[in-house]
Each structure stands twice: as structure tokens, then as C-alpha cells.
Amino acid sequence: MPLRFPRLSLSRRLSGAVAGLALAWGLAASAPAYAAQIPVRVVVVTTFEIGKDTGDMPGEFQTWVEKLPLKQVLPAPGTWHGVMRYNPGLQVLGIASGEGPEHMASAITALVLDPRFDLRHAYFVLAGIAGIDPNFGPVGAAVWAPRVINGGLAHAIDAREIPPDWPDGYTPVQGSTPDERPVPPLHSLSGDMAYTFNPALVRWAYDLTRQVALPDTPALQAIRARYAGYPRAQKPPAVLLGDTLSSETFWVGARMNRWAERWVAYWTAGQGVFATTAEEDVGFMQALTLQAQAGRVDPDRVLVLRTASNFDMPPPGQTAAALLKSEASEGGYSGYLPSIDAAYRVGSVVVRELALHWDRYGARTPGTPVK
């Protein structure tokens, strides 16, 4: 049976709606701006977990839960994972957003708007796995990102119809040629093309962790040995600095890699260096930037660490399709477990330093000159 509602005149309905809005506004204005119950110094952001949070095949989240540790379980309504984890001694909160920019943006927005937390002074550290450009570095590396570039927003022409004088089939969504000049705005009605992190904070995190030893297994050595002609790919894993390209499309291959290198250089006026490719970073920054406009987070307290689980193009002698087939699942990535380990090894150094020395970093962001 359909529900029946009392009929009101239009004027009465409008006056009631206005009164309701006025009451809601009055309550909101009179309520405390923040009623935080759970103190948070650092938010560790990961993108996925394969099964349980502990005791099975690890995703990005599990290593933090078990090793930091993050023992306390908190409900996380409105997020893909459904729960968050917390360390009350360190005051560190951990979240698994779900893969892809949509999951990330919705999870971060839900977290920041959660009345249990006041995150105005919290640091955000996204620690996740990624593909890596063999022209930049090896599988197993850990890369702090000075910038994130949007690789998912563009005009695209089918490869069979690319003009012969174009380097690839991609143009800015605000233009019609690959090298559109002047370069369109990074932030416009069309979308957000790049974000730059606080350079002083990124440099501080890199300097703090650059000597962290990363595992170099026989399997990693065998993987990189195949990349003859790519000297940086053949180095042992290390902590590096390089930009991340964020795209929801899982692309692979030498030609796509050349596009990624060009795209990063284009949107950063030649200042950026394409290093890693991931999905969620633009959604992460879009959510935080909008919440920063409302004063709920500090955009200067954000870091992205990507650790290389696989190369984004095949070695000489292998096709792109063959590489894609061999790495069609996360567990099959050539450097999957070492990259999961590296994300914690490197990221936890920064997280612990911030949390354990809150008297130093709570009021002043690392790298900020002392006044």
C-alpha cells in the first residue's frame, strides 16, 4: 500500500522548509566546530586488503595492522573496507580506502567529515604499491612523490587514427593537440591535472628514510636482470624521489610508458620526473583539497609514498600483452611482497617520527623554518 502524507499548501510547505533550514543552520552554528573524541596525529592511508586484516595473504593494509600495530578496530561507515584501525599510544589511524579514485575520494571524505575526529593538524601518509618506469628505477624501490599528475583525464584518439606527426593519441581535455600551448590551467572546470605536495615536507621525509635498507631478493634480481639497456632498472631497490601518475586505466607497454613520461613533463613544465603509476592519488588529493578549503585538514601535511611492485612495460623480447597476462592479479605482480614490505619499512619511519615527537611536529610542519 502506498504511503500517504498530509497535503499542505505550497506556502505552508515552503515556510516549513525554510524554518527547518533555519533551525538546522542555527543548530550547526551553535554547535562546536569540532567535537573530536579520538586524537589523531597521523592517518595512514592504504588502498586495499585482500582478505582479513591479519593472518593471511597481506594487502597494503595488513602489514600496518600487524606491525605498527593498529589493534583497535573502529567502524568506518560509508567506506569500502567498513572498518578503520587505531593505535591509541601513537594516536595513528589507519584506513583501507578501496581501489580506484572513486573509492579513495569517498573514503577520505567520509573520514574527514566523521565527527569522532579532528584532523586539522593530522598528517596524511598514503602508502601504496605501484608500477614503475624502468627508465627511472627498479622493482622494490620506494618513491616519495613531489607531485601527482592526472593521467586519466584527457582527449584520446584510437591508435589506428593517430595523426602521423603526433607522439601518441592523447591531448589535454582542454585542447586538441598533444602539445597544446599555452598549457591549460592545472585546475579548472574541466578537472584537476596536477598537485604539488609541500616540498619541504617531502624532502624531510626523503632525507629521513633515504638510508632505509630495502630487501633485495633473488627474485627481484632475476626480474631486473631481464631489463638489459635500462641501467636504473637494474639497480638494487632504494628510496627515491619521483612523481606519480594517477590513472584508473591499468595501462602497460613501452609506447604507453613514453606517453606517461611526456604527459608528466608537459603538465609540470619540464620539472617533473615520471616514476610510478597508480590509481588513487588524484582522488586522494581532490578530496583533501576540497576539505582543506573548509578548514578541516592541512594540505601542507600530506605525503604520498609509492613502492614498486612491477614494471609498467615489458623487458626486451616480451610483448605488452604477455606482461599484462603474467601480472593480471595483484598477487602475481613480480615484486608484490617486497613492495608491500617496503611501503611499511619506509612509511613507518616517517609515521613513527611524527607520532612520537608530536611536541615537535604538532604545531610546526617538518621543514618549516623556526620563527
Each domain of the chain, given as residue ranges in start order, spans 42-363
pLDDT for residue 39 is more than 50: yes
As a whole number, mean pLDDT of residues 22-34 equals 36
State percent of the chain over pLDDT 70: 89
pLDDT band at 332 (very low <50, low <70, confident <90, very high): low
Segment 31-57 shows an average pLDDT of 84
What is the percent of the chain where pLDDT is above 90? Answer: 84
Helix, strand, or coil here: 305? strand
- 42-363, CATH topology level: Rossmann fold (3.40.50)
- Return d(Cα 322, Cα 24) in angstroms, integer: 58
Quick one: average pLDDT of 218-231?
95
Give the confidence band of 371 by pLDDT, cuts at 50, 70, 90.
Answer: low
Span 211-240, average pLDDT: 96
Q: Which three cell numbers stand for residue 158?
A: 584510437
Confidence label for 22 from pLDDT (cuts 50, 70 and 90):
very low
Mean pLDDT across the chain, nearest whole number? 89
Mean pLDDT computed over 339-364: 98
Residue 1 has pLDDT above 70, yes or no: no
Q: Are 151 and 260 in contact, with CB atoms under 8 Å apart?
A: yes
Q: What pLDDT is recorded for position 30? A: 32
pLDDT in tens, 290-324: 999 999 999 999 999 999 999 999 999 999 999 98
Whether 32 shows a pLDDT value over 80: the answer reads: no
Q: What pLDDT score does 224 carry?
A: 94
Mean pLDDT of 12-23: 34
- Can you give the pTM of this predicted structure? 0.89
Residue 26 has pLDDT above 70, yes or no: no
Q: Note whether 151 and 328 are within 8 A (CB).
A: no
pLDDT confidence bin for 334, thresholds 50/70/90: confident
Q: Is the pLDDT of residue 86 over 50?
A: yes
- What's the mean pLDDT in 363-367? 94
Residue-wise pLDDT tens digits, 145-199: 999 999 999 999 999 999 999 999 999 999 999 999 999 999 999 999 999 999 9
Q: How many CA atoms lie within 13 A of 299 on its CB side?
A: 16
Distance CA 370, CA 367 (A): 9
What is the per-residue pLDDT across 158-172, written as a single tens digit (0 to 9) for each? 999 999 999 999 999
**pLDDT of 328:** 72
207: left (phi over 0), alpha (psi -120 to 50) or beta: alpha
Locate the DSSP E strands across the chain: 42-46, 72-75, 83-87, 92-96, 123-132, 142-144, 147-150, 155-156, 170-171, 187-188, 191-192, 194-196, 239-241, 243-246, 274-278, 302-311
pLDDT in tens, 229-277: 999 999 999 999 999 999 999 999 999 999 999 999 999 999 999 999 9
